[in-house]
Structure 1
Amino acid sequence: MLFSSPSLVFSPSSLHLLPSSDPPYKLLKNHPSLSLLSKCKSIENLKQIHSQIIKTGLHNTQFALSKLIEFCAISPFGDLSYALSIFELIDDPNVFIWNTIIRGHSLSYSPILAVTFYVRMLHAGVEPNSYTFSFPFESCALVPATHEGRQIHTHVLKLGLDSDAFVHTSLINMYARNVELSDARLVFDKSSLRDAVSFTALITGYASGGYLDDAQRLFDEIPVRDVVSWNAIIAGYAQSGKFGEALAFFQEMLREKAQPNESTMCGDLEKACGLFDGICQRDRISWNVMIGGYTHMSHYKEALVLFRKMQQSNEEPNEVTFLSILPACANLGALDLGKWIHAYIDKNFSKSTNTSLPTSLIDMYAKCGNIKAALQVFDSAKPRSLASWNAMISGLAMHGHADMSLRLFSEMTEEGYEPDDITFVGLLAACSHAGLVEVGRQYFDTMIRKYKISPKVHHYGCMIDLVSRAGLFDEAEALMKNMEMKPDGAIWGSLLQACRVHGNVELGEFVARQLFELEPKNPGGYVLLSNIYAGAGRWICSKTTNQAK
């Protein structure tokens, strides 16, 4: 306390930071020069801010440099070449900076350069984390570059990150999109992470390659079929033009998925399918009922197919139509159709007071990767609803713009909006992606104490991931003890990964036992524990654990 108290007399703008300085995050966060980045709209303004950062000595901190690079590499107003010019002058960039520059290249016109910078990262002695791999895998899928993808796959195995759900799905997706379906299936078969997302990735790969029999066989192996898995197989048949088979699966899904509390809804939709097929003169109401039904059941491709048929029938869509079809565009990445709908809305519904339309447009643009367009819709939306604020906050967090996401929340509360649990999922996700431990704590506490919102599993998941990556294991343990629900495999897995990063053998052994009990056939946990032992020089334990997987 004695040493930290003098810093209170300095304002952020009056402080000049020296090389190798490590000022508190709160001091950096409130610095006027960095605050300007959230309002920056052009590379010319960015260069002016950069000059101010150099003048105040902020360029001597990796935090400030990471924010500059993040803007240049990822922001729609940035310039990747300028990001590179900053990056090349940094001594020993941290893993966040490497991830940002790799991500920037994965989004560029030369995505293979993401792999090049990934290799440079390894040569620099910086160890990748679970956030690193999705970007080079996506680049290998785009190019395509299967050979490089396989090499990166070996690094995932070496680091024990194949147990990370996000990495696992990215890997399957990379192989499937490169039509290396046997490799995609091998990854799938050797893992216990067989959730709806990984099933969807592999089934979609089979279906897009025309291997519908393989897709159906895989679908038949699913122990419990959820809406996502049904959607994958139905979309595959619809994409191949076999609408009769797709409809048969759709009707089978409705019968199988009917629950006591959903029987009325499912029964009405099944009845609507039969009635719709028998209608010769279909009006706008009947089209909207069917499109809305498909979207509600997450059958997004079928919803788009039906919408196109509606257009061909010369039936004019209305606001209800677009509120049903925009979520389908968002989940399928159908950006071109989303843009057409946006133009149609501007032309025909410019005076509409329906706040759900701009919210759906914001969500669609963000999920389709066009965050600049999402911001433009948000800025022009009058009036705004809480849902539109939530969509924009989550969209910015999704794209790695943590500072902008948090600033937007401040603006939202200043305008009198009260956040809900969805708001805080977006905020905590932003903190988790950016490693903002103290900020994440503050939001988590504010959610509970000020807004009386009980944390759900997504809130706990973000917080446990955030603090454990920072090495705050006591805090992660306390969070898990306070959970009203039991931690799942994903939470135990993220904690075990943090134990490996920080070399915490004792806690790692305990966490591994919990993970093995939940997922005894998951080899990723054994690999992580083996690596923890190896890092501690306990080679016999490492070998024994590795053989047990």
Structure 2
Amino acid sequence: MGLHLFRQMSERSIVSWNIMISCLAQSGRDSEALGLFHEMKDQGFNPDDATLVIVLPICARLGAVEVGQWIQSYAESSVFFRDSVSVGNALVDFHSKCGVLETAKKVFNEMPQKSVISWNAMISAMAFNGKGELGIELFEEMTKAGICPNDATFVAVLSSCAHAGEAYDLIRSMPEKPNASLWGSLLGACRTHGDMELAQLAVEELVNLEPWNSGNYVLLSNIYAEEERWDKVEEVRTMMKERSIEKTPGRVQLDSLR
């Protein structure tokens, strides 16, 4: 339906082309999306940065290496594209998923500016290509550069680490003492990654940092309950009573966890 309406448009802009290509890709119709990209170029429309960011993941999924290489050459021909963080991120992701890690590293190193997404993409690239140790080194470099990690960073770091203890030690050794926001990001990554052991450690740190926050106690108790560690659930309940922590209305009741 959307493609039919697009075909009926008397005038099209680069924005309308981008929207249609993106819609096809999101519907799992990558081949059609890439075909529309070629059609767009044939009709004299020059891709903008949004086009490149949309099309590069399509190329990675289809293994359309030549198209991806054309996009990189096209991007390198313009200062505007060379300075685009989003295009650089997309190129790093494309090359890593095509197994060309050295090219991904070259693009990353040559980026004049890097966002947390840039670092995440490169750390993920290392893990994806079996270079977990290099991913961990990159994470350490990232934190030394003052870039604050987010949930996605820790998902990539967990993929790079051999075991949960390694990830925990890595975070504890960061130049700046990890705050509640950072441990919260790690917790989100643990949920995505299914790492209950590290999730428990993260919530325990949150309880220590924010002893007044009832939500942290409920999270910790939930984790213990999932592992049927009822003695620990009881410890959390006792701790809340000793610290006069009130359970927030609407949250899971600790009594219901047994």
Instruction: Please state if 1:326 is matched with 2:59.
Output: no
Q: Give the whole-Å Cα distance in 2 for the aligned partners of 1:374 and 1:443.
A: 24
Change (3 A) 1:401 1:462: farther
Q: Find the partner of 1:422 among 148, 152, 166.
A: 152
Q: Find the partner of 2:192 among 458, 469, 475.
A: 458
Per-residue deviation at 1:483? Answer: 3.9
Q: Find the partner of 2:103 among 373, 378, 401.
A: 373
Q: Give the whole-Å Cα distance in 2 for the aligned partners of 1:283 and 1:449.
A: 46
Cα deviation digits, residues 154-173 of structure 1 (max 9, x gap): xxxxxxxxxxxxxxxxxxxx
The equivalent of 1:438 in structure 2 is 165
**Paired amino acid for 1:420:** N
* Runs (4+) off by over 6 Å: 444-448, 484-487
Q: Give the whole-Å Cα distance in 2 for the aligned partners of 1:407 and 1:356.
A: 23
Instruction: Please state if 1:400 is matched with 2:127.
Output: no
Per-residue deviation at 1:331? Answer: 2.3
Contact 1:301 1:332 in 2 (8 A): yes
Q: Per the alignment, in what secondary structure is the counterpart of residue 439 of structure 1? A: helix
Cα deviation digits, residues 259-286 of structure 1 (max 9, x gap): xxxxxxxxxxx4xx34312124433232
Change (3 A) 1:390 1:425: same
**Paired amino acid for 2:192:** H
Q: Give the whole-Å Cα distance in 2 for the aligned partners of 1:485 and 1:382.
A: 48
Unpaired segments ≥5 residues, structure 1: 1-250, 252-269, 465-479, 488-549
Contact 1:424 1:459 in 2 (8 A): no
Q: Give the whole-Å Cα distance in 1 for the aligned partners of 2:35 and 2:225.
A: 40
Cα deviation digits, residues 114-169 of structure 1 (max 9, x gap): xxxxxxxxxxxxxxxxxxxxxxxxxxxxxxxxxxxxxxxxxxxxxxxxxxxxxxxx
Cα deviation digits, residues 224-264 of structure 1 (max 9, x gap): xxxxxxxxxxxxxxxxxxxxxxxxxxx5xxxxxxxxxxxxx
Q: Give the whole-Å Cα distance in 1 for the aligned partners of 2:179 and 2:19.
A: 39
Q: Give the whole-Å Cα distance in 2 for the aligned partners of 1:442 and 1:356.
A: 32
Per-residue deviation at 1:403? Answer: 1.4
Contact 2:126 2:134 in 1 (8 A): yes
Per-residue deviation at 1:350? Answer: 5.0
Contact 1:460 1:483 in 2 (8 A): no
The equivalent of 2:39 in structure 1 is 309
What TM-score, normalized to structure 2? 0.67
Q: Find the partner of 1:355 among 75, 81, 85.
A: 85
The equivalent of 1:101 in structure 2 is none
Q: Give the whole-Å Cα distance in 1 for the aligned partners of 2:15 and 2:139.
A: 38
Change (3 A) 1:349 1:330: farther
Per-residue deviation at 1:463? Answer: 5.7
**Paired amino acid for 2:166:** V
The equivalent of 1:276 in structure 2 is 6
Q: Give the whole-Å Cα distance in 1 for the aligned partners of 2:224 and 2:29.
A: 33
**Paired amino acid for 1:459:** H
Cα deviation digits, residues 321-356 of structure 1 (max 9, x gap): 111111211222222211110000001345653211
Contact 2:83 2:111 in 1 (8 A): no
**Paired amino acid for 2:116:** L
Matches within 5 A, 1:248-263: 251=1
**Paired amino acid for 1:348:** S
Matches within 5 A, 1:485-496: none
The equivalent of 2:256 in structure 1 is none
Q: Find the partner of 1:340 among 31, 48, 70.
A: 70
Contact 1:295 1:327 in 2 (8 A): no
Contact 1:291 1:324 in 2 (8 A): yes
The equivalent of 1:57 in structure 2 is none
Q: Give the whole-Å Cα distance in 1 for the aligned partners of 2:42 and 2:225.
A: 49
Cα deviation digits, residues 163-219 of structure 1 (max 9, x gap): xxxxxxxxxxxxxxxxxxxxxxxxxxxxxxxxxxxxxxxxxxxxxxxxxxxxxxxxx
Q: Per the alignment, in what secondary structure is the counterpart of residue 387 of structure 1? A: helix
The equivalent of 1:525 in structure 2 is none
**Paired amino acid for 1:442:** D
Query: Whose relative contact order is higher, 1 or 2, with alpha carbons under 8 Å and at least 6 apart?
Result: 2
Contact 2:120 2:156 in 1 (8 A): yes
Q: Give the whole-Å Cα distance in 2 for the aligned partners of 1:339 and 1:486.
A: 48
Unpaired segments ≥5 residues, structure 2: 199-219, 228-258
Q: Give the whole-Å Cα distance in 2 for the aligned partners of 1:485 and 1:294.
A: 43
Q: Give the whole-Å Cα distance in 2 for the aligned partners of 1:279 and 1:314.
A: 16
Matches within 5 A, 1:55-94: none
Q: Per the alignment, in what secondary structure is the counterpart of residue 417 of structure 1? A: coil
Per-residue deviation at 1:319? Answer: 1.2
The number of equivalent residue pairs is 200
Instruction: Please state if 1:391 is matched with 2:121.
Output: yes
Change (3 A) 1:419 1:350: same
What TM-score, normalized to structure 1? 0.33
Q: Find the partner of 1:413 among 129, 136, 143.
A: 143
Matches within 5 A, 1:187-206: none
Per-residue deviation at 1:450? Answer: 6.6
Change (3 A) 1:352 1:399: closer
Per-residue deviation at 1:441? Answer: 3.1
Q: Give the whole-Å Cα distance in 2 for the aligned partners of 1:335 and 1:398.
A: 18
Q: Per the alignment, in what secondary structure is the counterpart of residue 390 of structure 1? A: helix
The equivalent of 1:61 in structure 2 is none
Question: Sequence identity of aligned pairs in percent?
Answer: 31
Cα deviation digits, residues 23-81 of structure 1 (max 9, x gap): xxxxxxxxxxxxxxxxxxxxxxxxxxxxxxxxxxxxxxxxxxxxxxxxxxxxxxxxxxx
Change (3 A) 1:394 1:484: farther
